[in-house]
Amino acid sequence: MGDVYSELIGQERAVETLRRAVDGRRHAMTHAWLFVGPPGSGRSNAAKAFAAALQCPDGGCGECNECRTTLSGAHPDVTLLRTEQLSIGVDEVRALVGRANVAPVKGRYQIVVIEDADRITERGADALLKGLEEPAPRTVWLLCAPSPDDVIITVRSRSRVIRLVTPSDQAVATLLEQRDGVAPALAAHSARAAQGHVGRARMLARNEDARIRRREILSLPGRLTSVTACLDAAHNLVESSAQEAAQATAELDAKEMATLQEALGLGGRGAKPRNAQAAIRDLEDQQKARAKRLQRDALDRVLTELTGYFRDVLAAQTAPGVALVNSDLADEIEPIARRSSPEQTVHALDAILQARTALEGNVAPLLALEALLISLSLAGRT
Ligand SMILES: [Zn+2]
């Protein structure tokens, strides 16, 4: 066990800045921070570690009560907003601003962590700005987003940016071996396949289903031999991502509903009062939105795998001898690289990017996937 920063691998520069702030060096501390970095680089983990270090009497020992309750989400003076919704609205932000203005009861600071600050709506951002402009003396805001451009400039300009980087494959593999006890070969393979995404690497290393799913996705480009095959494959991907989302939430959905019904005093039988019906519908809407977001996350992983695959094809075409992301698939990638041109591969990568943009823009997943797979099948032809 180490201090709160020990699992932030490859982030020495960011950690150095955070340590200086916790140490109370002159000008090193400020009341608003923006953690940015590629998916999987550990933005929210870094924010939580910093929150723990700020509350800890020893600057983030990782073992005291302040550290442990902060990291587990139970500290009374640390509010963590991790939304399952596609957007964070003005009401939610106003509630956080109200919370931020309360003096800390136990800790040294009142800290608010927003994991997906890029999902804050425009009106929400205006409300947040009020909080950032008139901070209470012990209040600290920790915002996380993929890049500084993902939050509006007025919020960004009031925050100090902490940049996280994609950790090296070697660093990720070492973490899997040391922390999770993964065998070296599997750790190295998973780290490489996950392309610097620590959570994904750990999932691949520990979950055989995840490895099987990955193999299935990567075998897709070779199977797109007709329009019918493309449409079928798109349908299957959308179905399985919906199932994955449903599996992930079924238990939670039921528990939330039971809790709500208990709170409303509903024993299950008899007519339900109207306000209870509204509350139940509200919860159902939220659960649907969560399932939708998890499905989109699953489809996003498909796109990430396909991007790695076609990057490998391009590497084989233009820089033979360069190590492949999917080195386990070299036998499948080489023939595709020979059969197609680099232009076609670039076209395939473009099509994946377009599909990602379409999904982010709320295009129906099936439409986006059908268009993508048809483009990929054309890109594979000579
Ligand atoms: Zn501590």
Q: What is the pLDDT of residues 168-191, one digit of tens each?
A: 999 999 999 998 999 999 999 999
| E-assigned strand segments in the chain | 32-36, 78-81, 110-114, 139-145, 160-163
Are residues 341 and 379 in contact, defined by beta-carbon separation less than 8 angstroms?
no
CA distance 80 to 113: 5
Q: How confident is residue 343, by pLDDT bands cut at 50, 70 and 90?
A: very high
Each residue's pLDDT tens digit, 12-24: 999 999 999 999 8
Question: What integer is the mean pLDDT of 353-368?
Answer: 92
For residue 46, the CA-to-ligand 1 centroid distance in Å is: 15
Where b means 16+ CB within 10 Å and e means fewer, 216-236 reads bbbebbeebeeeeebeebbee
Residue ranges with CB less than 5 Å from ion ligand 1 = 56, 61, 64, 67
For residue 142, what pLDDT is reported?
97
Amino acid of residue 60: G
Relative to beta strand 160-163, strand 32-36 is: parallel
For residue 382, what pLDDT is reported?
43
Are residues 159 and 143 in contact, defined by beta-carbon separation less than 8 angstroms?
yes
Query: Measuring CA to CA, how many Å separate 320 from each of 193, 314, 317?
Result: 19, 9, 6
For residue 55, the CA-to-ligand 1 centroid distance in Å is: 7
Query: Measuring CA to CA, how many Å separate 113 from each of 14, 58, 100, 170?
Result: 17, 21, 10, 30
For residue 9, the CA-to-ligand 1 centroid distance in Å is: 19
Composition of the chain by helix, strand, coil, percent to 5: 65, 5, 30
Q: Which two tokens stand for residue 110?
A: 């009142």
CA distance 76 to 61: 19
For residue 160, what pLDDT is reported?
96
For residue 114, the CA-to-ligand 1 centroid distance in Å is: 22
Return the percentage of the chain with pLDDT > 90, whole number: 55
* Bridge partner residues of 163 (DSSP): 36
Length of the chain: 382
